[in-house]
Structure formats: structure tokens, C-alpha cells
């Protein structure tokens, strides 16, 4: 077993409660950790026996672009579950940051973390 960590994937999604958030997509930052069995790819050194990071990133970006919802918690949970279904992984850890309103709210970071 092992894990792949992809940190700081920049995506755009239509998400939020405020009217201004619903009018246009906003930046989100996704970090994902995928646990899976590395045994075969360690022996063969062939991409076809592992997980292609580019496919994971493309999947996350496509998911975010299609998303239309209110709560960051739901975005994170549904994305994590979707990744688990789409790739041969045993566990998905995922965090999503929403930087747009940190300054307005007087804080450094808005972040949700989930595991499936």
C-alpha cells in the first residue's frame, strides 16, 4: 500500500450561499490523497499499472466545473466519493479551500476536510 498526494489543485466552481457567489464560478483549491496498492506498478514501472496523476487532476477539474451547489462540505464529500468510484483506490482523503472570502471575514483560511 501507499498513497499519492496531489496538493493545491486549482479549480473553478459555482458554489456558495451569497447571490454574488452564485453568479460566477470562484476559485477553490483541492488537495487529495489517494491510498492504493503500489505493488504492481513498483514491479513493472508502467503507468498502466498505476494511477495517472493527470487523469485524477482532469477528473477533479471536470467535477468542479460541472458542480452547482451551496455548501463546501457537500462539494468535498461528493468529490471524494466520486474519486473513490472512478479510480482503484482504497481510501480518499480530500481538503478544499475557499480563498475568496477570507479577507472579508478576517481569517486566513476556509478549509473543509473529508475521508472516504
The residues spanned by each domain of the chain are 2-115
pLDDT of residue 20: 79
Tens digit of each residue's pLDDT (9 = 90 or more) over 47-72: 999 999 999 999 999 999 999 899 99
CA of 78: how far to CAs of 18, 87, 100, in Å?
A: 21, 14, 21
Spatial neighbors of 114 by CB under 8 A, at least 6 apart, are 73, 76, 77, 80, 93, 94, 95
Tell me the CATH number of domain 2-115, given options 3.30.1130.10, 3.30.70.20, 3.40.50.12280, 3.90.1150.10. 3.30.1130.10
Is residue 19 pLDDT above 90, yes or no? no
Phi, psi of 12 (to 5 degrees): -120, 135
Q: Check residue 52 and report its DSSP letter.
A: -
Query: Average pLDDT of the chain?
Result: 95
Tens digit of each residue's pLDDT (9 = 90 or more) over 87-113: 999 999 999 999 988 888 899 999 999
Q: In angstroms, rounded to a whole number, what is the distance separating the alpha carbons of residues 20 and 18?
A: 5
Query: Higher model confidence: residue 68 or residue 11?
Result: 11
Amino acid at each position: 500500500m501507499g498513497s499519492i498526494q496531489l496538493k493545491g489543485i486549482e479549480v473553478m466552481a459555482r458554489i456558495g450561499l451569497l447571490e454574488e457567489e452564485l453568479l460566477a464560478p470562484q476559485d477553490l483549491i483541492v488537495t487529495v490523497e489517494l491510498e492504493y496498492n503500489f505493488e504492481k506498478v513498483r514491479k513493472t514501472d508502467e503507468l498502466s499499472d498505476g494511477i495517472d496523476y493527470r487523469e485524477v487532476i482532469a477528473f477533479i477539474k471536470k467535477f468542479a466545473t460541472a458542480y452547482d451547489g451551496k455548501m463546501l462540505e457537500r462539494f468535498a464529500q461528493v468529490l471524494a466519493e466520486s474519486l473513490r468510484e472512478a479510480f482503484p483506490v482504497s481510501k480518499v482523503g480530500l481538503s478544499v479551500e475557499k480563498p475568496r472570502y477570507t479577507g472579508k471575514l478576517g481569517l486566513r483560511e476556509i478549509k473543509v476536510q473529508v475521508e472516504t
